[in-house]
Amino acid sequence: MGGIDRALELIRSSRRVVVMTGAGVSAESGVPTFRDDLTGYWSMFDPNDLATPEAFDRDPATVSRWYDERRQRVLSCRPNPGHVALAAWEEAVVGAGGSFVLLTQNVDRLHQRAGSRHVVELHGSLLSWRCTRTGKVREDLPLPLPHYPMESEAGGLYRPGVVWFGEMLPESAVARAEAAVASCDLVVSIGTSALVYPAAGYVEWAVAQGVSSLEVNRDPTPISDLVDVSLRGLAGEILPRLGAGWRAGTG
Ligand code: OAD
């Protein structure tokens, strides 16, 4: 039985779904991934120069400008068929009385723009900026920012509302992710190199619990041999096929 058919079997028999997505699910929307050689963000710079609290303390203007440019870029991108298929899948599972939680490492908000509602942003969002003095989060700052860095009303600075290397994930996101993984009957990893923890650990934890598991990824990853079915290919092509085949089989 082909991979797609086996994947459909797992999907059809699931009622409590957890999906983990990474940059690969937004690649076909034009958002660069992190570790792809030619287009990945990291290929253009050393992450330690821009994606750490120390980098912001050292050079808040450059870090603020780089994140503001990424914010502008993702707002000009559109959800792709992979995002849309995930939103439709969620709606159908929840509509049938099941549960569906989408854990994402992405900070581009494209899942929400595609209609996904039960989204947990493990690494924050490019649309959020947080005051360094009060911790207040705003998503309505001018686009582009008037100058870099932008001062906050409290006399601090607005820093990007994303998780940097060496920082903890938002407590609420961790709590929601752990609750979802602890009670799911299917875990699906899509478009992630499965190298960054704790995100990668959630899928491994579900697999270790004996939960049915599926991967959709362009390249092999460290979890490809762990999951029940690993489909090689593009999220924008495979996810709509899974959705169509699974809808045909529901009822
Ligand atoms: P990566 O760039 O590490 O991995 C992207 C994965 O997506 C790769 O395994 C590709 O093979 C796959 N891929 C690329 N295009 C695809 C497509 N069209 N369809 C399906 N798969 C595709 O990105 P992430 O795994 O998301 O963390 O990186 C995880 C974290 O590392 C990021 O959230 C970021 C970074 O440090 C923080 O910023 C905290």
Based on the domain organization, do 131 and 225 belong to the same domain? no
**Strand ranges across the sheet with 99-104:** 119-121, 99-104, 16-21, 186-190, 212-217, 229-232
Domain span at residue 119?
A: 3-30+78-123+168-247
Residue with tokens 């400008």, as numbered in its chain: 65
Based on the domain organization, do 99 and 183 belong to the same domain? yes
Cα separations in angstroms, 154 against 43, 56, 141, 201, 238:
36, 18, 15, 37, 48
Q: What are phi and psi of 99, to 5 degrees?
A: -125, 150
Ligand 1 centroid vs 144 CA: distance in angstroms? 26
Ligand 1 centroid vs 64 CA: distance in angstroms? 22
pTM beyond 0.85: the answer is: yes
Whichever domain contains 143, its CATH number is 3.30.1600.10
Please write the tens of the pLDDT for every residue from 81-95: 999 999 999 999 999
Overall number of domains in the chain: 2
- The answer as to whether 219 is a domain residue is yes
Closest CA to 147 of 45, 61, 36: 61
Based on the domain organization, do 72 and 137 belong to the same domain? yes
- The answer as to whether 92 is a domain residue is yes
Based on the domain organization, do 17 and 104 belong to the same domain? yes
Per-residue pLDDT at 245 exceeds 90: no
* Ligand 1 pocket, residues with Cβ under 6 angstroms: 22-24, 27-28, 33-36, 40, 105, 123, 163, 191-193, 195-196, 217-219, 221, 234-236
Please write the tens of the pLDDT for every residue from 161-196: 999 988 999 999 999 999 999 999 999 999 999 999
- The answer as to whether 108 is a domain residue is yes
Based on the domain organization, do 173 and 153 belong to the same domain? no
**Average of pLDDT values for 70-88?**
97
**End-of-domain residue from the set 162, 187, 213:** 162
**End-of-domain residue from the set 162, 180, 213:** 162
Based on the domain organization, do 45 and 135 belong to the same domain? yes
Ligand 1 centroid vs 115 CA: distance in angstroms? 21
Based on the domain organization, do 215 and 188 belong to the same domain? yes
Per-residue pLDDT at 202 exceeds 50: yes
Based on the domain organization, do 22 and 103 belong to the same domain? yes
**End-of-domain residue from the set 114, 146, 162:** 162
- The answer as to whether 35 is a domain residue is no
**Average of pLDDT values for 15-26?**
98
Kindly report the average pLDDT of the chain as a whole number.
Answer: 94
Whichever domain contains 185, its CATH number is 3.40.50.1220
Based on the domain organization, do 194 and 221 belong to the same domain? yes
83 a catalytic residue: no
